[in-house]
Copies of this chain bind each other. A is one copy, B any other.
Amino acid sequence: MTTAAHRPATLEDVARLAGVSRSTASRVIAGTGFASPDARDRVATAAHRLGYVPNPAARALVSGAGVRLVVAVAGTSAAVLDDPYVHRVVGSAARVCTPAGVGVALHWLPLGEPTGLDQLARDRSVCGVVLVNTTEDLLDAIPRSLRGRVVSIGIGSPTVPSFDVDNTAGADAVLHHLYATGRRRIAMVTGPQWLPCSRRPVEAYRGLMRQAGLPERVLPGDFSAARGRAAAGEALRRWPDVDAIYAISDETALGVIAALSDEGVRVPSDVAVAGFDDIPLAAMTAPALTTASHPVGRIATAAATALLDGRPAAPVTLFPSVLVARASA
Protein backbone atom coordinates (compact mmCIF):
# COMPACT_ATOMS: atom_id res chain seq x y z
CA MET A 1 0.00 0.00 0.00
CA THR A 2 3.01 2.25 0.50
CA THR A 3 4.82 2.81 -2.77
CA ALA A 4 3.12 3.19 -6.10
CA ALA A 5 5.61 0.80 -7.64
CA HIS A 6 6.07 1.42 -11.29
CA ARG A 7 5.94 -2.30 -11.87
CA PRO A 8 2.94 -3.75 -10.08
CA ALA A 9 3.82 -6.43 -7.56
CA THR A 10 3.42 -10.07 -8.51
CA LEU A 11 2.76 -13.05 -6.36
CA GLU A 12 6.46 -13.78 -6.56
CA ASP A 13 7.25 -10.42 -4.96
CA VAL A 14 4.80 -11.09 -2.18
CA ALA A 15 6.23 -14.52 -1.53
CA ARG A 16 9.78 -13.21 -1.40
CA LEU A 17 8.91 -10.40 1.00
CA ALA A 18 6.99 -12.83 3.20
CA GLY A 19 9.83 -15.32 3.09
CA VAL A 20 7.71 -18.16 1.77
CA SER A 21 7.30 -19.94 -1.52
CA ARG A 22 4.96 -18.87 -4.29
CA SER A 23 2.74 -21.84 -3.55
CA THR A 24 2.18 -20.80 0.01
CA ALA A 25 1.52 -17.23 -0.95
CA SER A 26 -0.90 -18.42 -3.59
CA ARG A 27 -2.77 -20.54 -1.09
CA VAL A 28 -3.33 -17.86 1.45
CA ILE A 29 -4.23 -15.21 -1.10
CA ALA A 30 -6.62 -17.40 -3.00
CA GLY A 31 -7.90 -18.64 0.34
CA THR A 32 -7.52 -22.21 -0.82
CA GLY A 33 -5.63 -25.00 0.86
CA PHE A 34 -3.77 -25.00 4.15
CA ALA A 35 -1.43 -22.48 5.66
CA SER A 36 -0.13 -21.92 9.16
CA PRO A 37 -1.43 -18.87 10.97
CA ASP A 38 2.09 -17.53 10.89
CA ALA A 39 2.50 -17.91 7.14
CA ARG A 40 -0.97 -16.58 6.59
CA ASP A 41 -0.14 -13.48 8.55
CA ARG A 42 3.19 -12.77 6.90
CA VAL A 43 1.77 -13.19 3.43
CA ALA A 44 -1.16 -10.94 4.17
CA THR A 45 1.17 -8.27 5.49
CA ALA A 46 3.48 -8.52 2.54
CA ALA A 47 0.60 -8.36 0.08
CA HIS A 48 -0.76 -5.31 1.82
CA ARG A 49 2.55 -3.51 1.91
CA LEU A 50 3.17 -4.20 -1.75
CA GLY A 51 -0.35 -3.27 -2.73
CA TYR A 52 -0.58 -6.59 -4.45
CA VAL A 53 -3.52 -7.11 -6.82
CA PRO A 54 -3.87 -10.57 -8.37
CA ASN A 55 -3.93 -10.73 -12.14
CA PRO A 56 -7.26 -12.26 -13.17
CA ALA A 57 -5.93 -13.01 -16.64
CA ALA A 58 -3.12 -15.18 -15.34
CA ARG A 59 -5.42 -16.78 -12.84
CA ALA A 60 -7.97 -17.58 -15.51
CA LEU A 61 -5.33 -18.91 -17.83
CA VAL A 62 -4.05 -21.49 -15.42
CA SER A 63 -7.34 -22.46 -13.91
CA GLY A 64 -9.13 -22.51 -17.24
CA ALA A 65 -11.75 -20.13 -15.94
CA GLY A 66 -12.35 -17.36 -18.44
CA VAL A 67 -12.29 -13.62 -17.91
CA ARG A 68 -15.27 -12.47 -19.92
CA LEU A 69 -18.97 -12.85 -19.49
CA VAL A 70 -20.75 -12.41 -22.79
CA VAL A 71 -24.13 -10.78 -23.15
CA ALA A 72 -25.40 -12.19 -26.44
CA VAL A 73 -28.41 -10.45 -27.92
CA ALA A 74 -30.51 -11.90 -30.71
CA GLY A 75 -31.98 -9.43 -33.15
CA THR A 76 -32.60 -8.57 -36.75
CA SER A 77 -29.75 -6.08 -36.88
CA ALA A 78 -26.76 -5.04 -34.86
CA ALA A 79 -28.77 -2.02 -33.79
CA VAL A 80 -30.26 -4.11 -30.96
CA LEU A 81 -27.01 -3.54 -29.16
CA ASP A 82 -27.95 0.11 -28.75
CA ASP A 83 -31.19 -0.71 -27.02
CA PRO A 84 -31.59 0.84 -23.56
CA TYR A 85 -32.82 -2.49 -22.28
CA VAL A 86 -29.63 -4.16 -23.44
CA HIS A 87 -27.57 -1.42 -21.87
CA ARG A 88 -29.29 -2.00 -18.55
CA VAL A 89 -28.48 -5.68 -18.76
CA VAL A 90 -24.85 -4.99 -19.61
CA GLY A 91 -24.51 -2.36 -16.91
CA SER A 92 -26.00 -4.56 -14.22
CA ALA A 93 -23.91 -7.52 -15.31
CA ALA A 94 -20.74 -5.45 -15.32
CA ARG A 95 -21.44 -4.36 -11.79
CA VAL A 96 -21.57 -7.89 -10.41
CA CYS A 97 -18.79 -9.22 -12.60
CA THR A 98 -16.25 -6.56 -11.68
CA PRO A 99 -15.44 -7.82 -8.17
CA ALA A 100 -14.80 -11.25 -9.67
CA GLY A 101 -12.26 -9.86 -12.10
CA VAL A 102 -14.55 -10.62 -14.98
CA GLY A 103 -15.32 -8.20 -17.78
CA VAL A 104 -18.47 -8.01 -19.85
CA ALA A 105 -18.63 -8.37 -23.62
CA LEU A 106 -21.55 -7.59 -25.89
CA HIS A 107 -22.37 -9.74 -28.91
CA TRP A 108 -25.03 -9.57 -31.56
CA LEU A 109 -26.63 -12.86 -32.61
CA PRO A 110 -28.16 -12.38 -36.06
CA LEU A 111 -31.61 -13.89 -36.14
CA GLY A 112 -31.71 -17.16 -38.04
CA GLU A 113 -28.02 -17.91 -38.16
CA PRO A 114 -27.04 -19.05 -34.71
CA THR A 115 -23.44 -19.90 -35.56
CA GLY A 116 -22.30 -17.01 -33.45
CA LEU A 117 -22.61 -19.24 -30.41
CA ASP A 118 -20.14 -21.76 -31.82
CA GLN A 119 -17.45 -19.18 -31.80
CA LEU A 120 -18.20 -18.19 -28.24
CA ALA A 121 -18.03 -21.84 -27.24
CA ARG A 122 -14.51 -22.07 -28.55
CA ASP A 123 -13.30 -18.88 -26.92
CA ARG A 124 -11.55 -19.96 -23.75
CA SER A 125 -11.73 -16.47 -22.35
CA VAL A 126 -15.50 -16.74 -22.09
CA CYS A 127 -16.70 -17.85 -18.69
CA GLY A 128 -20.38 -17.69 -19.55
CA VAL A 129 -23.06 -16.41 -21.83
CA VAL A 130 -26.23 -14.49 -20.98
CA LEU A 131 -28.75 -14.86 -23.77
CA VAL A 132 -31.07 -11.92 -24.40
CA ASN A 133 -34.11 -12.06 -26.69
CA THR A 134 -33.83 -15.81 -26.61
CA THR A 135 -35.69 -17.81 -29.25
CA GLU A 136 -36.34 -21.53 -29.54
CA ASP A 137 -33.94 -21.72 -32.48
CA LEU A 138 -31.24 -20.17 -30.39
CA LEU A 139 -31.71 -22.67 -27.57
CA ASP A 140 -31.50 -25.51 -30.07
CA ALA A 141 -28.29 -24.15 -31.50
CA ILE A 142 -26.34 -24.03 -28.26
CA PRO A 143 -23.17 -26.11 -28.60
CA ARG A 144 -22.77 -28.90 -26.06
CA SER A 145 -19.50 -27.47 -24.89
CA LEU A 146 -21.33 -24.41 -23.68
CA ARG A 147 -23.71 -26.38 -21.48
CA GLY A 148 -23.76 -25.17 -17.95
CA ARG A 149 -22.27 -21.87 -18.98
CA VAL A 150 -25.37 -20.38 -20.59
CA VAL A 151 -28.36 -18.73 -19.01
CA SER A 152 -31.24 -16.95 -20.64
CA ILE A 153 -33.09 -13.76 -19.89
CA GLY A 154 -36.33 -14.96 -21.41
CA ILE A 155 -37.32 -18.51 -22.30
CA GLY A 156 -35.08 -21.35 -21.21
CA SER A 157 -34.73 -25.08 -21.78
CA PRO A 158 -33.82 -28.14 -19.74
CA THR A 159 -30.16 -27.20 -20.10
CA VAL A 160 -30.51 -23.42 -20.05
CA PRO A 161 -31.77 -21.80 -16.86
CA SER A 162 -34.29 -19.07 -17.48
CA PHE A 163 -34.46 -15.75 -15.68
CA ASP A 164 -37.57 -13.91 -16.58
CA VAL A 165 -40.36 -11.69 -15.47
CA ASP A 166 -43.78 -13.20 -15.04
CA ASN A 167 -45.15 -11.79 -18.29
CA THR A 168 -48.49 -13.52 -18.10
CA ALA A 169 -49.27 -12.34 -14.62
CA GLY A 170 -48.13 -8.82 -15.48
CA ALA A 171 -50.32 -8.67 -18.57
CA ASP A 172 -53.25 -10.12 -16.67
CA ALA A 173 -52.95 -7.51 -13.97
CA VAL A 174 -52.92 -4.63 -16.42
CA LEU A 175 -55.75 -6.03 -18.47
CA HIS A 176 -57.89 -6.64 -15.40
CA HIS A 177 -57.22 -3.13 -14.29
CA LEU A 178 -58.35 -1.81 -17.65
CA TYR A 179 -61.49 -3.93 -17.48
CA ALA A 180 -62.22 -3.04 -13.89
CA THR A 181 -62.09 0.65 -14.74
CA GLY A 182 -64.72 0.21 -17.39
CA ARG A 183 -62.74 -0.22 -20.60
CA ARG A 184 -64.39 -2.53 -23.11
CA ARG A 185 -62.75 -1.73 -26.46
CA ILE A 186 -59.18 -2.58 -25.69
CA ALA A 187 -56.53 -2.64 -28.40
CA MET A 188 -53.09 -4.09 -27.92
CA VAL A 189 -49.71 -3.25 -29.44
CA THR A 190 -47.48 -6.33 -29.29
CA GLY A 191 -43.73 -6.88 -29.22
CA PRO A 192 -41.74 -8.38 -32.10
CA GLN A 193 -43.43 -11.48 -33.48
CA TRP A 194 -40.29 -13.59 -33.36
CA LEU A 195 -39.73 -12.96 -29.67
CA PRO A 196 -41.19 -15.76 -27.54
CA CYS A 197 -41.63 -13.73 -24.40
CA SER A 198 -43.68 -11.15 -26.21
CA ARG A 199 -46.16 -13.83 -27.21
CA ARG A 200 -47.35 -14.59 -23.71
CA PRO A 201 -48.95 -11.22 -23.08
CA VAL A 202 -50.75 -11.58 -26.40
CA GLU A 203 -52.11 -14.93 -25.34
CA ALA A 204 -53.20 -13.44 -22.06
CA TYR A 205 -54.92 -10.65 -23.95
CA ARG A 206 -56.71 -12.95 -26.38
CA GLY A 207 -57.79 -15.23 -23.58
CA LEU A 208 -59.27 -12.45 -21.54
CA MET A 209 -60.99 -10.77 -24.46
CA ARG A 210 -62.58 -14.01 -25.54
CA GLN A 211 -63.62 -14.82 -22.05
CA ALA A 212 -65.21 -11.40 -21.61
CA GLY A 213 -66.82 -11.50 -25.03
CA LEU A 214 -64.85 -8.48 -26.20
CA PRO A 215 -63.36 -7.91 -29.65
CA GLU A 216 -59.72 -8.76 -30.22
CA ARG A 217 -57.71 -5.91 -31.68
CA VAL A 218 -54.05 -6.62 -32.12
CA LEU A 219 -51.46 -4.35 -33.71
CA PRO A 220 -47.92 -5.60 -34.29
CA GLY A 221 -45.20 -3.64 -32.52
CA ASP A 222 -41.47 -3.68 -31.90
CA PHE A 223 -41.08 -2.10 -28.46
CA SER A 224 -40.19 1.26 -30.03
CA ALA A 225 -41.78 4.62 -29.33
CA ALA A 226 -41.96 5.36 -33.04
CA ARG A 227 -44.03 2.25 -33.58
CA GLY A 228 -46.31 3.39 -30.76
CA ARG A 229 -47.00 6.64 -32.55
CA ALA A 230 -47.91 4.86 -35.75
CA ALA A 231 -49.95 2.19 -33.99
CA ALA A 232 -52.08 4.77 -32.21
CA GLY A 233 -53.05 6.28 -35.53
CA GLU A 234 -53.94 2.89 -36.94
CA ALA A 235 -56.00 2.03 -33.91
CA LEU A 236 -57.98 5.25 -34.13
CA ARG A 237 -58.61 4.74 -37.82
CA ARG A 238 -59.61 1.10 -37.68
CA TRP A 239 -61.51 1.18 -34.43
CA PRO A 240 -62.89 4.67 -33.74
CA ASP A 241 -64.60 3.41 -30.59
CA VAL A 242 -61.36 2.21 -28.99
CA ASP A 243 -61.24 3.20 -25.32
CA ALA A 244 -57.93 1.66 -24.23
CA ILE A 245 -54.58 0.83 -25.78
CA TYR A 246 -52.25 -1.60 -24.08
CA ALA A 247 -48.66 -1.58 -25.27
CA ILE A 248 -46.10 -4.21 -24.34
CA SER A 249 -43.43 -1.61 -23.72
CA ASP A 250 -43.40 1.71 -21.93
CA GLU A 251 -41.62 3.36 -24.83
CA THR A 252 -44.37 2.25 -27.16
CA ALA A 253 -47.03 3.38 -24.71
CA LEU A 254 -45.44 6.83 -24.54
CA GLY A 255 -45.42 6.95 -28.33
CA VAL A 256 -49.10 6.07 -28.27
CA ILE A 257 -49.87 8.84 -25.81
CA ALA A 258 -47.89 11.35 -27.85
CA ALA A 259 -49.80 10.47 -31.02
CA LEU A 260 -53.12 10.54 -29.20
CA SER A 261 -52.37 13.99 -27.82
CA ASP A 262 -51.50 15.21 -31.28
CA GLU A 263 -54.87 13.99 -32.51
CA GLY A 264 -56.66 15.77 -29.72
CA VAL A 265 -57.64 12.53 -28.03
CA ARG A 266 -57.47 12.81 -24.27
CA VAL A 267 -55.73 10.33 -22.01
CA PRO A 268 -57.17 8.70 -20.01
CA SER A 269 -60.66 10.20 -20.34
CA ASP A 270 -61.10 9.29 -24.01
CA VAL A 271 -58.59 6.49 -24.30
CA ALA A 272 -56.69 4.82 -21.48
CA VAL A 273 -53.09 3.82 -22.18
CA ALA A 274 -51.01 1.24 -20.34
CA GLY A 275 -47.45 0.04 -20.85
CA PHE A 276 -45.09 -2.60 -19.63
CA ASP A 277 -41.73 -2.32 -17.83
CA ASP A 278 -42.08 0.65 -15.55
CA ILE A 279 -39.04 2.45 -16.83
CA PRO A 280 -37.80 5.18 -14.50
CA LEU A 281 -39.43 7.92 -16.54
CA ALA A 282 -42.85 6.27 -16.55
CA ALA A 283 -43.68 8.12 -13.37
CA MET A 284 -42.62 11.45 -14.80
CA THR A 285 -44.66 11.75 -17.94
CA ALA A 286 -47.91 13.64 -18.23
CA PRO A 287 -50.09 11.76 -17.63
CA ALA A 288 -47.99 9.39 -15.55
CA LEU A 289 -47.98 5.95 -17.09
CA THR A 290 -49.89 2.97 -15.77
CA THR A 291 -47.76 -0.09 -16.32
CA ALA A 292 -46.45 -3.36 -14.88
CA SER A 293 -43.00 -3.41 -13.39
CA HIS A 294 -40.12 -5.28 -14.90
CA PRO A 295 -37.04 -5.49 -12.67
CA VAL A 296 -34.46 -5.68 -15.46
CA GLY A 297 -31.57 -4.85 -13.20
CA ARG A 298 -32.38 -7.57 -10.70
CA ILE A 299 -32.97 -10.10 -13.44
CA ALA A 300 -29.67 -9.35 -15.13
CA THR A 301 -27.86 -9.42 -11.81
CA ALA A 302 -29.32 -12.81 -10.98
CA ALA A 303 -28.44 -14.21 -14.40
CA ALA A 304 -24.85 -12.99 -14.26
CA THR A 305 -24.43 -14.14 -10.68
CA ALA A 306 -25.61 -17.63 -11.56
CA LEU A 307 -22.92 -17.80 -14.23
CA LEU A 308 -20.20 -16.49 -11.94
CA ASP A 309 -21.13 -18.93 -9.21
CA GLY A 310 -20.80 -21.78 -11.65
CA ARG A 311 -23.15 -24.15 -9.89
CA PRO A 312 -26.33 -25.09 -11.74
CA ALA A 313 -29.18 -22.63 -11.31
CA ALA A 314 -32.87 -23.41 -10.95
CA PRO A 315 -34.48 -24.18 -14.33
CA VAL A 316 -36.72 -21.16 -14.05
CA THR A 317 -36.43 -18.07 -11.89
CA LEU A 318 -39.50 -15.91 -12.25
CA PHE A 319 -39.55 -12.32 -11.09
CA PRO A 320 -42.91 -10.86 -10.20
CA SER A 321 -44.42 -8.20 -12.38
CA VAL A 322 -46.62 -5.92 -10.33
CA LEU A 323 -49.21 -3.48 -11.52
CA VAL A 324 -48.32 0.17 -11.10
CA ALA A 325 -51.51 2.15 -11.49
CA ARG A 326 -50.87 5.77 -12.33
CA ALA A 327 -52.82 8.38 -14.26
CA SER A 328 -52.86 7.09 -17.82
CA ALA A 329 -55.26 4.23 -17.19
Binding site for B on A (CB under 8 A): 4-6, 8-9, 51-53, 55-58, 60-61, 66-71, 81-82, 84, 86-88, 90-92, 94-95, 97-98, 101-107, 118-119, 121-125, 143-145, 225, 228-229, 251, 254-255, 257-258, 261, 280-281, 283-286, 288, 297
Q: How far is the CA of A85 from the CA of B119 in the complex (A)?
A: 31
CB distance from A263 to the nearest CB of B (A): 12
Q: How many copies of this protein are present in the complex? A: 2
Whole-angstrom distance between the alpha carbons of A67 and B53 in the complex?
A: 15
Q: Chain B: which residue is nearest A71 at the CB level?
A: B94
**B225 engages A69 (CB within 8 Å):** no
Chain B min CB distance to A228 (Å): 8
Closest to A106 in B: B94
Please name all residues of chain B whose beta carbon is closer than 8 Å to the beta carbon of A9 when the two chains form the complex: 122
Q: Which residues of B contact A283 (CB under 8 A)?
A: 225, 258
Q: List 15 A-B contacts (CB under 8 A).
A: A4-B145, A8-B121, A53-B122, A56-B123, A70-B98, A71-B94, A86-B91, A87-B87, A90-B90, A90-B91, A94-B94, A97-B105, A254-B281, A254-B285, A258-B283
CB <8 Å contact, A118 and B4: yes
Say how far A108's CB is from chain B's closest CB, in angstroms.
Answer: 9
- Could you tell me the distance in whole angstroms from the C-beta of A124 to the nearest C-beta in chain B? 4
Which of B6, B94, B124 meets A145, CB within 8 Å?
B6
Residue contact A103 to B57, C-beta cutoff 8 Å: no
CB distance from A129 to the nearest CB of B (A): 13
If A51-B118, A82-B92, A94-B105 are given as contacts, then 5 extra A-B residue pairs at C-beta distance below 8 Å, sorted by A number, are A53-B123, A55-B124, A84-B88, A104-B105, A258-B283
